[in-house]
Structure 1
Amino acid sequence: MATGHPNLHSFPNSDELATQLRSYVLRCQNSAFSRHGTFRLAVSGGSLPTVLAKALLATSNGSPEDTPQFSKWHIFFADERAVPLNHEDSNYRLLNDELVSKIPTELGTPIIHAIDEKHIGDDDPQELADLYQEDLMREFAAKDSVKLPAFDLILLGCGPDGHTCSLFPGHALLREKDAWVAAETNSPKPPPKRITLTLPVVTHAISIAFVATGGGKKEILKQIFDLEEGSSLPSALVNQGAGDKVSWFTDHPAVDGVSFPRRGSL
């Protein structure tokens, strides 16, 4: 059962948001290193990789605590589209273009867990989902020995309809309780075929962060944080399921008119 409420942070501009996001991610990294020597995280697409690159590629103050040690990172995808890795809709390509390809050599290279391209042409992306779940099992433990994988951090976006990962409002996948990775064959947002982490996997993570910016997000964030009508939206379900493990990183325009208490610096 979730404890506490999500943490809503609001910043005046993208520079301050990136600075605070960097501190948060590196705290998650360092805590993960103290637990098991690696940092296992999942990331979404959209605008998130651009913000993440701005945060993580900023100049370090030189201390180990403020340095991304990418060679110890395992990066998974919170969701992925059933397209080739070099396709413009691929979250893998987006993350690689925005962040991974720009990492300085001295910081190391993360291990990226991409989908298996051999199955992207299948009519049903279920095989893609099954194979990606097997990848998680190799990293976290066999599915019969742990109920759910425990990511050190999951980084998410929030769509204008309140969706996150490839979990859309009102869809049956929101009720999935057993699978770690699920297939979506008819996404309301193109491309239609995708795979996604399921809601129980997302809420089981040690830490979860949303990044949502711009005035175009203020209506959906007001629903998620202030209104009963927004309580069934996927992003709101993450808040409810994970409580104070969730931190939202927003700019002021995105939370204009939101009553839920918010703070600046972490």
Structure 2
Amino acid sequence: MGGPPNLYSFQDVDKDLAPNLRKYVLEQQNEALARHGVFRVAVSGGSLPKTLAKALLAPSNGSKDDTPEFSKWEVFYADERCVPLDHEDSNHNLVKQDLLDRIPQELGQPKVYPIDEQYLDDPKECADQYEKTLVSIFAARDSVKLPLFDLLLLGCGPDGHTCSLFPDHPLLREQDAWVLSISDSPKPPPKRITLSLPVVLHAAKIGFVATGGGKKDILKKIFETEQGGNLPSGLVNRGAGEKVSWFCDASATEGVNFPRRGSVM
């Protein structure tokens, strides 16, 4: 597995965290474009899209390394709620409002893969259809066991859930499917789809964004305890190790006994 995950802690979200998150995302973009000419990223909802927008829509310093090439991005959803795409609970709606609709024309537009609205009443079919979309893109030329995302951008709930993978849920044991359905989410809305844990762990890089004092207890648990290591976010830490980077503010990391970094190198 290599080394431990990277925990970044910043004093201020706007002044410090967002610019470092920008550097991190664009590093992954540039490496992906050098590898295969496209940047495949999956995102979650919550407060993440707003922070991502602060990071990516800030003025560029003019260098090629600091320019988002959105026309070469393919955006997927790490999880999604089975609601219409313009619904306030839709992750796609959040990402569209906070980021996609605000991208300047000259930077181009990503190709975006939302869920198919005709399957909203059947989460299992919705998940199967989204998996077929992934298969058509990631396994079009050859048979692959798992899709390889260049970057996953995730959040962490106060219970340690990430994507729509919740603590002690049977979905955590799923080994084969790429996309899973859940009809009994402990957090509303109950019907959702989510990437499976093996797909999350297989990503080239995984970035968590967790800010605010409401996150400090769960971060302390995840980074310091055996019990926290078995929560979904802790399982990502344990399974992906140094591929994982946490972008947090000082409020979220207060009292967390784990080596932290102050900037992306």
Letter in 1 for 2:224: D
Q: CA deviation at 1:231?
A: 1.5
For 1:63 and 1:225, the matched residues in 2 are separated by 36
- TM-score, structure 1 length as denominator? 0.97
After superposition, the C-alpha distances for 1:110-153 in whole angstroms (9 at most, x for unaligned) are 0110000011123xx11000000011111111598111011000
1:198 alignment partner in structure 2: 196
> 2 CA distance for matches of 1:73 and 1:44?
16
> Distance in 2 between the 1:212 and 1:134 partners?
31
SS of equivalent to 2:8? strand
Deviations 1:197-223 (A, max 9, x none): 000000100000000000100000000
Listed as ranges, the matches of 1:4-23 within 5 Å are 4-15=3-14, 16-23=16-23
The aligned residue for residue 60 of structure 2 is: 60
Describe the SS at the equivalent of 1:23.
Answer: helix
User: Matched residues, percent identical?
Assistant: 66
Aligned to 2:139: 141
What is the CA–CA distance in structure 2 between the aligned matches of 1:202 and 1:218, rounded to whole Å? Answer: 23
Q: Does the CA-based 8 Å contact 2:229-2:237 persist in structure 1? A: no
Task: Please list the CA deviations of residues 45-80 of structure 1 after superposition, one character each: whole Å capped at 9, or x if unmatched.
Answer: 000000000000000011111000100000000000
- Post-superposition offset of 1:38: 0.4
SS of corresponding position for 1:187: coil
Q: Which residue in the other structure is 1:97 paired with?
A: 97
Q: Measure, in 1, the Cα distance between the counterparts of 2:163 and 2:135.
A: 20
Question: Counterpart of 2:168 in structure 1: which amino acid?
Answer: G
Question: CA separation in 2, counterparts of 1:82 and 1:213?
Answer: 26
- Where has structure 1 moved over 4 Å in runs of 4 or more? none
Say which SS state the counterpart of residue 30 (structure 1) adopts: helix
Aligned equivalents of 2:53 and 2:65: distance in 1? Answer: 18
Structure 2: give runs of 5+ residues left out of the alignment. Answer: none
The residue aligned with 2:221 is 223
Consecutive unaligned residues of structure 1, counting only runs of 5 or more, are: none
Number of residue pairs matched by the alignment: 263
- Alignment of structure 1 residues 160-199 onto 2, 5 Å: 160-199=158-197
Residue type of the alignment partner of 1:265: S
CA–CA separation in structure 1 for the residues paired with 2:67 and 2:94:
23
The root-mean-square deviation of aligned C-alpha atoms, in Å, is: 1.0
Aligned partner of residue 109 in structure 2, secondary structure:
coil
Instruction: Tell whether the 8 Å contact from 1:82 to 1:195 is kept in structure 2 after alignment.
Output: yes
The amino acid of 2:212's aligned partner reads G
Alpha-carbon contact 1:50-1:99 (below 8 Å) kept? yes
Matches within 5 A, 1:70-89: 70-89=70-89
1:241-252 residue pairs with structure 2 within 5 A?
241-252=239-250
Q: What is the CA deviation profile of residues 69-115 of structure 1, one whole-angstrom value per residue up to 9, with x for unaligned ones?
A: 10000000000000000001000000000000000000001011000
Q: Which amino acid is 1:173 matched to?
A: L
* Distance in 1 of aligned mates of 2:263 and 2:162: 24
Greater shift in the superposed pair: 195-204 or 227-236 = 227-236
Tell whether the 8 Å contact from 1:137 to 1:143 is kept in structure 2 after alignment.
Answer: no
- Does residue 1:237 correspond to 2:235, yes or no? yes
Q: Secondary structure at the match of 1:258?
A: coil
TM-score normalised by length of structure 2: 0.98
Alpha-carbon separation, structure 2, partners of 1:38 and 1:94:
23
| Deviation string, structure 1 residues 24-49 (Cα, Å, up to 9, x no partner) | 00000000000000000000000000
CA distance in 2, matches of 1:225, 1:190: 27
The equivalent of 2:2 in structure 1 is 3
One-letter amino acid of the structure 2 residue matched with residue 82 of structure 1: C
- C-alpha distance in 2, partners of 1:57/1:249? 18
